[in-house]
Chains A and B, each alone.
Chain A
Amino acid sequence: MITAAVQEREHYLNASYGIKSWLLTKDHKRIALLYLGTITLFFFLGGAFATLIRIELLTPTGGLVSSETYNKLFTMHGVAMIFFFLIPSIPATLGNFFLPIMIGARDLAFPRINLLSWYLLVVGGLFSLFAMLAGGVDTGWTFYTPYSTTYSNTYVIATALGIFISGFSSILTGLNFIVTVHRMRAPGMTWFRMPLFVWANYATSLIQVLGTPVVAVTILLVFCERVFHIGIFDPALGGDPVLFQHLFWFYSHPAVYIMVLPAMGVISELISVYARKPVFGYKFIAFSSVAIAVLGFLVWGHHLFVSGQSLYAGLVFSFLSYFVAIPSAIKVFNWTATLYKGSISYATPMLYAFGFIGLFTIGGLTGLFVACLGIDVHVTDTYFVVAHFHYIMVGGTIMAYLGGMHYFWPKMTGRMYPEGWAKLSALVIFLGFNLTFFPQFILGYLGMPRRYHVYPEEFQVLHVLSTAGASVLAVGYLMPMMYFIWSLRFGQMAPANPWGATGLEWKTASPPPVHNFDVAPVVKHEAYDYSAVVQEEIEVG
């Protein structure tokens, strides 16, 4: 048992003090916390926009905001949540913190580039924040041309610049992870002994490296068109808005896998620990992550079904879109099989994992609805699609993110969070989420278009339910904010391995020393080998 000597022992948090030791750090763990602060700010900013949207939608004739302002609200909600919260979220916080430790490395391959990645996110975020505060942008997060290039009178240039810069943050993080996994595994840490969380981040990194540059150059062209008036997407010159959509979605579809793959990696860890069983079908889950990364690049045309894209291409993209569901389904089956005859614990992270599996399944199945060309013609650009992607992004990714945060909190901070409040929050979030977004499936199916704030009276009941749910969800998200901060001062001291988990990260102290390990690890066990692990008791006080 580890005694309460944490405060005297040197670890990465107390090894050096002062703002320079944080802003100029090369320690991946500190960088992870810098990211945590940044993305949390953007999460609440995106949440603020969502709040205004949901309040506006309480009444059929709007009235809180004008149409122009409403356009800005959903645009900025999307930009903040996607580019500045979801894309970095798990990789830049939990990935940054734990990937090196999980493979037995002292740090990432390029620590200074890691710090640069954070600065790029911050600078990009500042440009976008400036745009939001100075008057907003109203093109939709998708920046379709020619509205974004020619007709919009809002801060497109600043937002485009912000997204462009933050894209390089993503690219460099992906590059760093790939090199680290290939070149810095500890002796004995073979590819198939790595935690599945590492596989998930590795696959995500492949997407970041291959996809982000395309949206970067596309946004750059939009920027050039607005600033230098060179009309690459201008129909008046013979330019093609559908070309923009191809280039945009080439990245933005794989981007959704950037957002969900790390979450799946977290779930693999949680299911195993809290069923106290090795993950069923380890290699299938590992390879399915890579399969999702690859297949995810072949389906972007399903966002263009009604754009004027050729019907033949639409059929091909629809067909391929069904394929990409298969590796995801493999994961869900394998997680379920892992639970079978496991020793299930209902700790908070496991509640989030259960939530993920259920909600991601619904989100994923509705993806099949929209992948079907014929159905999509009717539900595209309706709330059905909105519900579909929120089930995956919020019901899926954010649940997994919170589950991961709770799971890894003791390791990162040396403190336990209060379990009672945490369980309650998980429940509130689950209920709030479903009340918010399930009505939206019905709304969309009945024909409520997305991005509209004025709607027929018969939709009001469902919108009111959705807004009610959103207020519950907001409370649910505020609770962890509060008790996590509380726990930093008043939480129980955490031992090295409070969950009885396998993995190198649980063999080092909570919080870890600056160089992660006091003695360089040599790996002799397979992944998820519970035979040698003893669950440590949590210290009181």
Chain B
Amino acid sequence: MTEHIDSVKTYVGILIALLMLTALTTAVARVNLEAFSVVVALGIATTKMLLVALFFMHIRHSNQLTKLVVLGGLLWLGILLVLTLSDFATRGWIGVPGK
């Protein structure tokens, strides 16, 4: 496996981006975006996660299997969340009492 050695500049740049995004999400929380607030907050968090994963965890340079493993993990978390919520979100959709 060829070793990609990233530069210090790259890492510093990513760090600065991460710190700025942290400040951004804290500030934006004060703004009234109603239902969109949580979308923005999670969006920023996801961006930060991608920066850490791609650059600090070197997924950029990883092999296919590693990328598949990570995607699989995230997909499975998605299955847990979506299918569980599918119960709570659909109570009362079918007009049978109590369901």
Flag whether B84 is at the interface (Cβ < 8 A): yes
| Whole-angstrom distance between the Cβ of B17 and the nearest chain A Cβ | 31
A203 to chain B minimum Cβ distance, whole angstroms, is 13
Q: Among the listed A247, A250, A310, which residue makes an inter-chain contact with B92, where contact means beta carbons less than 8 Å apart?
A: A310
What is the predominant secondary structure among interface residues of chain A facing chain B? Answer: helix
Known: A250-B84, A298-B83, A304-B87. A311 touches B76 (CB 8 A): no
Shortest CB distance A421–B (Å): 46
CA distance A250 to B83 in the complex (A): 10
A308 interface residue (CB < 8 Å to B): yes
Report the Cα distance A333→B86, complex, angstroms. 35
* Choice from B72, B73, B79, B90 contacting A310 with Cβ under 8 Å: B90
CB distance from B41 to the nearest CB of A (A): 23
Q: 1/0 per position for A70-100, CB-CB distance to B under 8 A?
A: 0000000000000000000000000000000
Chain B contributes a number of interface residues (CB within 8 A of A) equal to: 20
The answer to whether B79 and A312 touch across the interface, beta carbons within 8 angstroms, is no
Tell me the A286-310 residues at the B interface (CB within 8 Å).
Answer: 297-298, 300-301, 304, 308-310
Task: Tell me whether B84 and A316 are in contact (CB under 8 A).
Answer: no
- Shortest Cβ distance from residue A109 to the other chain B in the assembled complex, whole angstroms: 14
Find B98's partner among A243, A308, A312 (CB 8 Å cutoff).
A308
Whether A246 contacts B84 by the Cβ 8 Å rule is yes
Write the chain A residue with the least CB distance to B76.
Answer: A210
> A242 interface residue, CB < 8 Å from B?
yes
Residues of A near B79 (CB, < 8 A) are: 297-298
Contact with A along B74-91 (1 / 0, CB 8 A): 001001100110111111
Say how far B95's CB is from chain A's closest CB, in angstroms: 9
Q: Which 3 A-B pairs have the closest CB atoms?
A: A311-B99, A312-B90, A313-B87
Chain A residues within CB distance 8 Å of chain B: 182, 210, 214, 242-243, 246-247, 250, 297-298, 300-301, 304, 308-316
- Residues of chain B having any CB pair with chain A under 8 Å: 65, 72-73, 76, 79-80, 83-84, 86-94, 96, 98-99
12 new A-B pairs (CB below 8 Å) besides A310-B86, A311-B94, A311-B96?
A: A182-B65, A247-B84, A250-B84, A297-B79, A308-B98, A309-B87, A310-B92, A311-B99, A312-B93, A313-B83, A314-B99, A316-B86
